């Protein structure tokens, strides 16, 4: 899903904070939220792509102001309500006030009809697709050309998996891009590797 959450490769957000010895959790409730997310997936209540899409569906103002684990809680709660495990009224009673959930989801699609396999060293182009549902290709590589480095294992196709649609599992390809191709005149020379699902790629003639 395209929205404000897709910030990869964008400028103007300042330096990324990095503290090597920092704890991943700042409060006990964050540990419980992380464990609840994993437990619900293991129990089959939802899958990882449904979870990611629930985060994407958050109101933009809520998402920009929320911490990482607030987003986790919002996505879990949204899916538990949508799956009939609980209700928003029950959540608000426990919270003692309003409990914001993500917006309703739409869209979804199955595998590309013309998808094909690629070999190491083959030049490929990322399809310039923009869809209303879940999608796992970052905006900054769409329409860009790179070189296949290797093929990964078969994985559920996220565009379908997030929406309960039937689709064949696909490999992801490690595709190497040049920074000057992604951001002409705006980055130091470097190579960037991105795992890209098969349906997102097309051969370069």
Write out the H or E segment, with its range, that includes residue 195. Answer: strand 191-197
- The class level of CATH for 123-203 reads mainly beta
Do the two domains 1-105 and 123-203 of this chain adopt the same fold? no
- Its pTM stands at 0.90
Within the chain, which residues score under 50 in pLDDT?
Answer: none
Q: What is the pLDDT of residues 100-159, one digit of tens each?
A: 999 998 889 999 999 999 999 999 999 998 888 999 999 999 999 999 999 999 999 999
34-38: long-range contacts at Cβ-Cβ below 8 A with a sequence spacing of 24 or more? Answer: 34/69, 34/72, 36/76, 37/72, 37/75, 37/76
Listed by start position, the domains of the chain span: 1-105, 123-203
Architecture of the domain spanning 1-105 = Orthogonal Bundle (1.10)
């Amino acid at each position: 899903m395209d929205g404000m959450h897709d910030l990869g490769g964008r400028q103007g957000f300042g330096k990324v904070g990095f503290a090597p010895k920092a704890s991943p959790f700042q409060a006990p409730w964050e540990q419980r939220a992380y464990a609840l997310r994993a437990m619900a997936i293991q129990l089959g209540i939802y899958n990882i792509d449904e979870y990611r899409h629930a985060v994407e569906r958050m109101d933009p103002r809520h998402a920009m102001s929320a911490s990482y684990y607030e987003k986790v809680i919002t996505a879990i709660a949204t899916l538990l309500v949508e799956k009939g495990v609980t209700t928003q009224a029950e959540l608000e009673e426990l919270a003692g006030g309003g409990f914001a959930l993500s917006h309703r989801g739409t869209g979804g699609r199955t595998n590309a009809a013309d998808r094909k396999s690629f070999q190491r060293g083959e030049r490929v182009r990322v399809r310039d697709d923009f869809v209303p549902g879940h999608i796992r290709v970052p905006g900054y590589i769409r329409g860009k050309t790179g070189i296949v480095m290797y093929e990964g294992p078969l994985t559920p196709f996220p565009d379908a998996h997030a929406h309960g649609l039937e689709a064949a599992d696909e490999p992801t390809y490690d595709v190497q891009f040049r920074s000057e191709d992604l951001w002409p005149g705006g980055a130091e020379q470097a190579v960037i590797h991105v795992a890209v699902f098969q349906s997102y790629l097309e051969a370069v003639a």
